[in-house]
């Protein structure tokens, strides 16, 4: 089997050329370790982790087909994309696989152009046949959120964490990775409520950061500020990760993004909702949907969500307002 050096792994050699062990790769010969580290850092660790799996699957497929993975010939990549499509993969998965192949070539200083006619044409055909509309999780609107919180007790530290995570996640419209990355220093209690600092996000890889305000809610049980304060007081957390892994009452290290999704699904299940229809992103989508239905201006919603593209935000709002002032209403 061809030796595949992980070009996305910080501790591994940078070049994945299929050369004999010990042979120096093209970028290793000219870049120092510090430059290699920053070159890889152009992608987030989570992205590199996903790309690593995509690259390994492509390399394994090339081994079985008896073709070279790097540098890969455009027809080889086109065949692989077609293989993924015929295997039932979604277009988003196929797009990501191609991005991983391109990134691996870039790091290894090997030529590959995704605009080659055979690659671009095959991908366009896949998009046309399979469609590109993503399968979206349902939004957790205010009605569902109330049901979910009603099903969560307040007996233990973990229950308090789950309530705080749901409420802070919903009112801040944070992505799950942003919630998991929050630290105590990022949550400042002020007279108006809670000032939350998002230091890094999917659309802010250079860490400019942004602030989000979470005001007090009228109902104590639905207030993100009071609930977060109660969670911190019960756990004694004063520094480090804001949301912690809690097992058998013992407060441990910070949570991962998957914990956010699991918390949402568990609360949905207890509320009698089909957990398969919901995920961590349902909190963010639910905030946008509810705020839009309540007549909040799009600019105000965008300040909370951090959306830079109004076009993306409009997609949420169009879904939320499909029955508002509907032209078909009352015609018969």
How sure is the predictor about 29, in pLDDT bands with cuts at 50, 70 and 90? very low
Known catalytic residue at 202? yes
How confident is the model over 112-126, as pLDDT tens digits? Answer: 999 999 999 999 999
Locate 185 and state its tokens: 């220093």
Locate 199 and state its tokens: 């230091």
In a domain, 223, yes or no: yes
Q: Whole-angstrom Cα distance, residue 304 to residue 298?
A: 10
How confident is the model over 33-72, as pLDDT tens digits? Answer: 777 677 777 777 778 888 999 999 999 999 999 999 999 9
Is 273 found in the same domain as 193?
A: yes
The pLDDT of residue 32 is 65
How sure is the predictor about 109, in pLDDT bands with cuts at 50, 70 and 90? confident
Residue 167 Cα to chain centre, angstroms: 19
Which of residues 324 and 298 earns the better pLDDT score?
298
Q: Whole-angstrom Cα distance, residue 235 to residue 85?
A: 48
Can you tell me whether residue 118 is helix, strand or coil?
helix
Which of residues 21 and 282 earns the better pLDDT score?
282
How confident is the model over 245-259, as pLDDT tens digits? Answer: 999 889 999 999 999
Question: Among 6-15, 19-28, 182-191, whose mean pLDDT is lowest?
Answer: 19-28
In a domain, 27, yes or no: no
Known catalytic residue at 284? yes
Indicate if the pLDDT at residue 10 is higher than 70.
no
Known catalytic residue at 281? yes
How sure is the predictor about 107, in pLDDT bands with cuts at 50, 70 and 90? confident
Known catalytic residue at 231? no
> Which stretches does DSSP call E strand in the chain?
187-190, 193-198, 210-215, 244-247, 250-254
In a domain, 20, yes or no: no
Is 89 found in the same domain as 196?
A: no
Which among 174, 244, 167, 183 is positioned nearest to 202, based on CA atoms?
A: 174
Point out the catalytic residue in the list 3, 49, 185, 202: 202
Is 205 found in the same domain as 280?
A: yes
Known catalytic residue at 136? no
Mean local confidence (pLDDT), 194-223: 82
How confident is the model over 138-163, as pLDDT tens digits? Answer: 889 999 999 999 988 878 999 999 99
Indicate if the pLDDT at residue 211 is higher than 80.
yes
Point out the catalytic residue in the list 105, 137, 175, 176: 175
Q: Whole-angstrom Cα distance, residue 163 to residue 175?
A: 17
Q: What count of residues does the chain have?
A: 332
Is 182 found in the same domain as 96?
A: no
In a domain, 12, yes or no: no
Which among 304, 326, 293 is positioned nearest to 316, based on CA atoms?
A: 293
How confident is the model over 288-298, as pLDDT tens digits? Answer: 989 988 888 88
In a domain, 231, yes or no: yes
- Kindly report the average pLDDT of the chain as a whole number: 84
Is 284 found in the same domain as 155?
A: yes
Is 153 found in the same domain as 109?
A: no
The pLDDT of residue 200 is 76
The pLDDT of residue 311 is 73
Residue-range definition of the domain harbouring residue 106: 33-130
In a domain, 164, yes or no: yes
| CATH number reported for the structural domain that contains residue 235 in this entry | 1.10.443.10
Locate 33 and state its tokens: 């370790």
Which of residues 225 and 110 earns the better pLDDT score?
225
Question: Among 57-61, 258-262, 303-307, whose mean pLDDT is lowest?
Answer: 303-307
Which of residues 79 and 132 earns the better pLDDT score?
79
Choose the final residue of a domain: 67, 97, 130: 130
Is 76 found in the same domain as 120?
A: yes
Is 81 found in the same domain as 164?
A: no
Is 156 found in the same domain as 109?
A: no
Q: Say whether pTM exceeds 0.85.
A: no
| CATH number reported for the structural domain that contains residue 43 in this entry | 1.10.150.130
In a domain, 45, yes or no: yes
The pLDDT of residue 319 is 67
Is 237 found in the same domain as 173?
A: yes
Mean local confidence (pLDDT), 190-205: 82
Is 120 found in the same domain as 162?
A: no
Choose the final residue of a domain: 130, 163, 196: 130
The pLDDT of residue 28 is 45
Contact 223, 200 (CB under 8 A): no
Domain count, the chain: 2
Indicate if the pLDDT at residue 207 is higher than 90.
no
Is 151 found in the same domain as 119?
A: no
Known catalytic residue at 158? no
Choose the final residue of a domain: 96, 130, 164: 130
Q: Whole-angstrom Cα distance, residue 62 to residue 239?
A: 48
Locate 213 and state its tokens: 């305000």
């Amino acid at each position: 089997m061809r030796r595949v050096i992980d070009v996305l792994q910080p501790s591994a050699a940078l070049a994945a050329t299929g050369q004999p062990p010990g042979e120096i790769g093209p970028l290793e010969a000219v870049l120092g370790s510090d430059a290699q580290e920053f070159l890889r850092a152009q992608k987030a660790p989570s992205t590199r982790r996903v790309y690593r799996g995509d690259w390994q699957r492509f390399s394994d497929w090339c081994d079985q087909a008896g073709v070279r993975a790097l540098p890969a010939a455009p027809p080889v990549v086109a065949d692989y994309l077609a293989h993924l499509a015929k295997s039932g993969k979604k277009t988003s998965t196929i797009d990501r696989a191609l991005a991983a192949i391109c990134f691996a070539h870039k790091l290894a200083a090997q030529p590959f152009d995704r605009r080659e006619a055979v690659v671009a044409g095959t991908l366009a055909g896949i998009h046309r046949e399979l469609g590109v509309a993503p399968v979206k999780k349902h939004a957790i609107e205010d009605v569902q959120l109330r049901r979910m919180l009603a099903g969560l007790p307040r007996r233990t530290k973990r229950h308090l964490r789950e309530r705080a995570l749901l409420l802070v996640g919903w009112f801040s419209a944070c992505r799950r990775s942003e919630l998991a990355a929050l630290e105590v220093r990022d949550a400042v209690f002020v007279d108006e409520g809670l000032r939350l600092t998002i230091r890094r996000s999917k659309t802010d890889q250079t860490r400019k950061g942004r602030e989000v305000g979470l005001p007090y809610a009228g109902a104590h049980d639905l207030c993100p500020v009071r609930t977060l304060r109660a969670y911190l007081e019960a756990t004694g957390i004063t520094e480090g990760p804001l949301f912690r892994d809690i097992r058998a009452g013992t407060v441990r290290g910070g949570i991962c993004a998957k914990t956010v999704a699991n918390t949402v699904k568990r609360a949905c299940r207890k509320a009698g909702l089909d957990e398969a229809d919901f995920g961590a992103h349902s909190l963010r989508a639910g905030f946008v949907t509810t705020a839009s239905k309540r007549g909040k201006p799009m600019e105000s919603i965008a300040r909370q969500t951090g959306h830079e593209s109004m076009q993306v935000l409009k997609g949420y709002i169009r879904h939320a307002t499909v029955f508002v002032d509907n032209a078909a209403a009352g015609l018969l």
